[in-house]
């Protein structure tokens, strides 16, 4: 049984080294496993930090580093490692996409491998992501819909309860469960899934790529499962800073959102989804004004959602461009 773990680093080399350190014993317990790191265009000092850690700690027998001079995005950074592995004479049975801002708990990787081996109909399996103190993060999700976009934008208790069946992030559970999609921060993929649907879609750059991948795997008959026995600490948003609130959403996230809906659901549904999200955001803002209670709102979110909606940008499926600034 062969496993390839791929890690794409962007500006968090020290965290990537901590991640590698947490993998050392996991790799020792899984013969035939390897780790490949892509330093994704964030600077030679980042590559030097990771390279030195590999050499100093003697990890070279199981870990390799590829340094890209440009930022390939999450998708391109993973694909540049996965593609040659799948084309090799002895390709891996499984590929684990693992964020650099993670720390793997003991037994986490073996739990995923064992689950996949015992369930040959499962194409993708995701870990339980958690905070350093063990508090679980929501890691298993439903596919987005017009109702979920409205509920998530409005954030009104009564509406959320009425639409709970469509909420994107249902409550955390403690047993393995089939789900629509799992977070790409720790996502194991069976080799045959890549054969059926291809690599990650580099048209996204980053964000919505894991949703898209699980969506297209399902179309080919591959199930996705959440496996909470695989516990992985996730220091959320360290590379992009997107989860530091309140903070304006980056354009590439909203462009990826539009790409996902247009590509997978077509123009009419993308318009419905954008309309639902904009209506929810407008009502949320109005409720803030009328109530006098200023609930936290992402800066410029209504205008940014409209600017990147099909109403403003049209119905051509966008190819998300690499950001020109820090994010």
pLDDT of 125-139, one tens digit each?
999 999 999 999 999
E strands, the chain, are: 3-9, 33-40, 63-68, 94-98, 102-104, 122-130, 140-141, 177-179, 181-182, 186-190, 223-234
How many other C-beta atoms can be found within 10 angstroms of the C-beta atom of residue 151? Answer: 23
Q: What is the mean pLDDT of the chain?
A: 94
The CA dihedral of 187, 85, 257, 42, to the nearest 10 degrees, is 100
Give pLDDT, residue 288.
Answer: 86
**pLDDT above 70 coverage of the chain, percent:** 94
Residue 50 has pLDDT above 80, yes or no: yes
Range 63-92 average pLDDT: 97
First to last CA, the chain: 38
Read off the pLDDT of residues 240-261 as tens digits, 9 standing for 90 and up. 555 555 689 999 999 999 999 9
pLDDT grade for 326, boundaries at 50, 70 and 90: very low
Query: Beta partners for 128?
Result: 231
Q: State residue 237's pLDDT score.
A: 65
pLDDT (mean) for 91-119: 98
> Encoding tokens for residue 69?
């001079």
pLDDT value at residue 327: 41
Query: pTM value?
Result: 0.94
Return d(Cα 255, Cα 206) in angstroms, integer: 10
Residue 186 has pLDDT above 90, yes or no: yes
SS3 state of residue 8: strand
pLDDT interval class at 153 (50, 70, 90): very high
Q: Quick one: average pLDDT of 73-88?
A: 97
Residue 110 above 70 pLDDT?
Answer: yes
Question: Which residue in 109, 145, 125, 121 sits closest to 214, CA to CA?
Answer: 125
d(CA 40, CA 154): 36
Residue 135 CA, distance from chain mean position: 19
pLDDT computed for residue 1 by the predictor = 61
CB 262 within 8 A of CB 270: yes
Percent of the chain with pLDDT over 90: 91
């Amino acid at each position: 049984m062969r496993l390839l773990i791929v890690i794409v680093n962007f500006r968090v080399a020290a965290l990537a080294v901590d991640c590698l350190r947490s993998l050392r014993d996991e790799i020792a317990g899984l013969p035939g496993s390897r780790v490949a790191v892509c330093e994704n265009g964030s600077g030679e000092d980042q590559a030097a930090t990771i390279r030195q850690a590999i050499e100093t700690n003697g990890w070279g027998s199981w870990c390799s580093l590829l340094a890209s001079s440009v930022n390939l995005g999450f998708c391109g950074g993973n694909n540049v490692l996965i593609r040659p592995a799948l084309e090799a004479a002895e390709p891996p049975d499984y590929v684990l996409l693992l964020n650099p801002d993670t720390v793997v708990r003991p037994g986490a990787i073996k739990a995923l491998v064992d689950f996949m081996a015992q369930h040959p109909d499962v194409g993708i399996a995701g870990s339980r992501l958690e905070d350093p103190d063990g508090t679980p993060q929501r890691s298993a999700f439903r596919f987005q819909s017009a109702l979920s976009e409205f509920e998530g934008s409005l954030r009104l208790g009564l509406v959320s309860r009425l639409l709970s069946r469509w909420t994107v992030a249902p409550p955390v559970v403690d047993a393995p469960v089939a789900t629509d999609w799992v977070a790409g921060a720790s996502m194991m993929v069976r080799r045959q899934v890549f054969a059926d649907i291809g690599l990650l879609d580099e048209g996204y750059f980053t964000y919505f790529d894991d949703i898209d991948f699980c969506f297209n795997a399902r179309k080919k008959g591959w199930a996705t499962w959440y496996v909470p026995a695989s516990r992985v600490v996730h220091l959320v948003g360290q590379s992009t800073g997107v989860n530091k609130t309140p903070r304006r959403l980056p354009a590439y996230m909203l462009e990826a959102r539009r790409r996902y809906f247009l590509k997978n659901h077509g123009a009419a549904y993308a318009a419905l989804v954008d309309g639902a999200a904009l209506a929810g955001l407008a009502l949320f803002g109005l409720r803030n004004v009328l109530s006098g209670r200023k609930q936290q709102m992402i800066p410029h979110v209504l205008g940014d959602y409209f600017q990147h909606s099909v109403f403003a940008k049209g119905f051509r499926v966008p190819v998300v461009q690499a950001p020109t600034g820090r994010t």
